Chains A and B, each alone.
Chain A
Amino acid sequence: MARFYLENGKVAAFIGHLQQQKTVYAPHRKGRNAFAFAPVDRPQDVVLDYPRTVSSIKRYFLPPREELLSFNLVENTCEQPVVAPLDAVFLGVHSYDVHAVLKLDHNFVSGNPERNYLTRRQGALIVGVGFTPDRFHFSGSVGVPAGDTTGCDLFLHPCEGGYALEALTPDGEGLVAGFPLPAHTAGLPAAAPFHQHIYVPQAKLKDVLAHGYDSEVWEEEAEKCTSCGTCNLVCPTCYCFDVEDAVDITVTRGSRERRWDGCLLRSFTEVAGGEVFREEPAARQRHRVFRKFKYISDETGEPWCVGCGRCTASCTAGISIVSIVNRLVNDHDAVKA
């Protein structure tokens, strides 16, 4: 399909062109050093060159807090809110976050299909953008190079003076239609290298993790860990949630809310009667890492981590998933060598 040249000076106008067609969500500066996806108001506020957003675009399909139903205790009735397809463009998404959405699609289609997520997902178009890996990204090690266009309708490859805008689907072509752009004929610049690596492929990690189940690394990392749950909540492939009912001050009406939860949190493993089924922080850390590289991966053959580096970048204790996995690789190789 076609490739166009979008010079830097035309980016804002192009975003305006997208806004005329659909709601556009894109990265914005949030606070001093952070970035977050938000609906675009003024195109000039969009930041396309950013390291990573606090959380991924997952939050638009699986909202952090969501009303599942509202009820009336007097009339004994309940109602589900209307959930509609998003019909929006997600602009400036990094390749790993697109892969994460595709993984969530898999999780939410399998078994009991997740109606709300799948409904919102319909009609969402994705415009990817390349990125320069920082010291936390390692998506290259889990099969997602910075310039990977999988799952995108359009992709912005950073190049001299602007972007090579690649159309990948008819929907993507439709988004560009009506915005005159010259063809991009030069080759694409070579992708920037990663600074973090997991040194073995998923096929081997399967055995590495099995071997590392009783490793000392879990206890060592747990000593530094506050069980704050941040690593789960920022992860684009985590999808666990908690559900709570609450009534309002009339004591006759209320609603059921779902909100993100995560396996590092002690309360996540607390069940009726106060029993905590994964009491040790070390066991919870192991569970998280196994969820990313073993449990789902053994079924699908793919790592369930996309290498965004968020869990490590936002862990105040500096716990690194890459270090944990590489440590297990070394331990495994030392024994098997």
Chain B
Amino acid sequence: MANKPRVGIFDFTGCEGCELNQLNFEDQLLDILEHVEIVEWREAMDGRAESLDIAFVEGALSTPDCIKRIHEIRRKSKVLVALGACAVQGGINALKNIRPIEQVREEVYGQDKYLFPTLPALPLSAVVKVDVNIRGCPMTQLEFLKVFTALVMGKAPVEPGNAVCTECKLKDNECVYEKGMICLGPVTRAGCDAQCPTFGQYCTGCRGLVPEPNVEAMEEILVAHGLSMDDARKKLQMFNANQLEGVS
């Protein structure tokens, strides 16, 4: 390829688990670098780039500075990709949004709270236009590569819209409800190959809600399987506090 796409990798509020996951690509990292030129990446290099073809952005927006930076990144990037649950939905950071912000600041920073301005934790899409989502906490290598190859070819990546249950059923899994557990698979976006139920765990909803989720039905299912309505709500809020409030 004559002109390799210029790529930048950025992080906001999150654990950097998604980026680190990229570094773990070991066997594929060289193949990836065949196709693109990484020109900006705080974790692995110094300096800033003027313009980018693709920006991969991890983490939620949670301070005034984040808002400023994401606008800068958006301005200089042709394609902006949100990486992982924090960037796509706000992630578990958004749990703070369900409590008064002053209380949250005080609990975390005590009397120094005025030194640390904070905002509700927002998904990137609440502030700028996001072109592609790579979901999950953390995102999976498989999905990253799928999106990456599509972008390199100049195609629009396909974002999974079905529920996690579909992948469970393709694998002939025992539904964890059969074992007396609960699961958010019925309203959570597929694409992880139902990895949690496959290992006997329940889906916590890390990949976000399906398009047009029937949240009331999901709550009823959780209640019918023994949760209080309050606990049902909390389970759903873990990764989707923003979506449940209509922020996306």
Contact = CB atoms under 8 A, between A and B. Distances in A.
Nearest to B220: A224
A314 B172 CA distance: 12
B178 to A, nearest CB: 5
A59 B172 CA distance: 9
B221 A34 contact: no
A208 B220 CA distance: 30
Interface in B148-170: 148-150, 152-153, 158, 161-163, 165-166, 169-170
Contacts of A30: 172-174
Contacts of B217: 223-226, 317
B221 A317 contact: yes
A32 B178 contact: yes
Contacts of A244: 158
A32 B211 contact: no
B101 to A, nearest CB: 32
B67 interface: no
Interface stretch (B27-35, B76-84, B103-111): B27-35
A104 interface: no
B246 to A, nearest CB: 19
B31 A32 contact: no
Contacts of A223: 214, 216-217
Interface in B132-191: 145-146, 148-150, 152-153, 158, 161-163, 165-166, 169-175, 177-179, 183, 185-187
A81 interface: no
* Dominant secondary structure at the B interface: helix
A246 B146 contact: yes
Interface string A244-258: 101111110000000
A36 interface: yes
Contacts of B28: 249
A31 B174 contact: yes
A294 to B, nearest CB: 25
Given A246-B146, A251-B149, A226 B169 contact: no
Interface residues of B, number: 44
Contacts of A227: 163, 210, 212, 214
Nearest to A226: B186
A54 interface: yes
A169 interface: no
B200 interface: yes
Interface stretch (A119-127, A157-165, A264-272): A264-272
B170 to A, nearest CB: 4
Interface stretch (A2-10, A128-136, A209-217, A229-237): A229-237
A115 interface: no
B107 to A, nearest CB: 35
Q: Which of A65, A225, A230, A281 has the most CB of B within 10 A?
A: A230
Nearest to B148: A249
B113 to A, nearest CB: 41
Contact of A229 (B145, B163, B214): B163
Given A250-B31, A266-B211, A234 B169 contact: yes
B170 A251 contact: no
B178 A226 contact: no
B224 interface: yes
Interface in B185-202: 185-187, 200
Contacts of B170: 64-65, 233, 259-260
A12 interface: no
Contacts of A53: 172
A76 interface: no
A103 B150 CA distance: 39
Contact of A249 (B149, B186, B225): B149
Contacts of B179: 31-33
A267 B149 contact: no
B172 A266 contact: no
B214 A226 contact: yes
B207 to A, nearest CB: 14
Q: Which of A54, A229, A248, A316 has the most CB of B within 10 A?
A: A316
B93 to A, nearest CB: 26
A189 interface: no
Contacts of A251: 35, 149, 152-153
Contacts of A317: 186, 217, 220-221
A228 interface: yes
A249 B148 CA distance: 8
A297 interface: no
A34 B168 CA distance: 13
Contacts of B171: 64
A281 B171 CA distance: 25
A316 B210 CA distance: 17
Contacts of B224: 318
State the 8 A-B residue pairs at the shortest beta-carbon distance, nearest first.
A31-B174, A34-B174, A233-B169, A226-B186, A64-B170, A228-B186, A267-B161, A228-B165
17 contacts: A31-B173, A32-B174, A34-B174, A34-B175, A59-B172, A64-B169, A64-B170, A223-B217, A228-B187, A229-B162, A230-B175, A233-B165, A233-B166, A244-B158, A246-B149, A247-B153, A251-B152
Interface of A: 30-34, 36, 53-55, 59, 64-65, 223-230, 233-234, 244, 246-251, 259-260, 262, 265-267, 270, 281, 314, 316-318
